[in-house]
Amino acid sequence: MEYQIELCDSYDGLLDGKIWIVSTVSIPAGTYLVFETIPPPGMQRAAPVTLEITGTGTTLLDIEHQPVPPPNTEVGAGVPVQPEGLPGSTITFANVTQPGVTTIAASADPPSLPTGFSLDGAAFFDIQTTAVFDGQIQICLPYVAGNYSDPGNIRLLHFENGAWIDVGVTNNGVDTICGFVSSLSPFAIVQTSAPTATPTPTPTVEPSATPKPSKTPKPDKTPKPTKTPKPTKAPKG
């Protein structure tokens, strides 16, 4: 069950950062997680806070607010930004029309990689900005070459419309890879995986034809014995 409550910093007349929850509805006793939707002017939205409610009425809740950092992305053309979240990274906007804050942070739960890329040494980042911009953005991110077996095959992927897209344009093979995009969202520095070799099938040896047995020659006919001539009779005298 969700409840909408009012967070009031000036309920006690003091702007001291201690927030009073003024409950206008009856909320059952229990433990709740409070999400701030509208932070005080000039402050960042506070992290979710656990709240224990024991009854109706006003409840004191101590929420820590951090001031909104000054813009690091100024109005102009060809605006380079070096966010603190990843030293050595440079985000260059083609054109910024309204200043804002550009941030980069490691992504703990990135989308799954497509086939053809390895998780070994893979690094995932989420890049965001509150600045208003148009045109392309050049993303240059650092990497540690020792984390990859073949730094020359490292690629820069950008998650767009539900799929990872290879946007890498330059890779010095040492410590930096760059690419161009038109929007910001998750990025990944990954290495292409070696294709699995398809084993060559062993050719089937066809059995040799069984030779036909040679014909047994017919035995020679035994010649008939020569008839002994009868003796010639002597003439009578």
Distance CA 232, CA 230 (A): 6
Give yes or no for a contact between 157 and 164, defined as CB atoms under 8 angstroms apart: yes
Please state the domain extents for the chain.
6-62, 76-192
Hey, what are 212's tokens? 């036909």
Q: Which residue type occupies 224?
A: K
**Number of neighbouring beta carbons within 10 Å of residue 7:** 18
pLDDT score recorded for residue 140: 96
pLDDT in single tens digits along all 237 residues of the chain: 555 555 555 444 555 455 555 554 567 777 877 777 777 777 777 777 787 777 665 566 666 777 888 999 999 999 999 998 899 999 999 999 999 999 999 998 899 999 999 999 999 999 999 999 999 999 999 999 999 998 889 999 999 999 999 999 999 989 999 999 999 989 999 999 865 555 666 666 666 666 676 666 666 666 666 666 666 666 665
- pLDDT at site 44: 77
Query: What does the CA dihedral 178, 181, 183, 186 come to, rounded to 10 degrees?
Result: -50
Predicted pLDDT of residue 31:
81
Q: Is 95 left (phi over 0), alpha (psi -120 to 50) or beta?
A: beta
Distances (CA, A) of 14 to 5, 9, 17, 19: 20, 7, 8, 10
Classify the C-alpha dihedral 125-131-134-138 as positive or negative. negative
Find where tokens 């980069």 sit: 104
CB 72 within 8 A of CB 107: no
The confidence score (pLDDT) of residue 82 equals 94
Let me know if 129 is exposed, middle or buried by CB neighbors in 10 A (0-12, 13-18, 19+).
buried
Residue 132 has what pLDDT? 96
What residues are paired with 138 via a beta bridge? 92, 180
Residue 183 has what pLDDT? Answer: 95
pLDDT of residue 190: 95
CATH architecture of the domain 76-192 equals Sandwich (2.60)
The pTM of this model reads 0.61
pLDDT, position 232 = 60
Please tell me the distance from the alpha carbon of residue 109 to that of residue 125, in angstroms, as a whole number: 10
Query: ∠207-213-219 over CA atoms, to 5°?
Result: 175
Residue tagged 């419309």 (tokens): 161
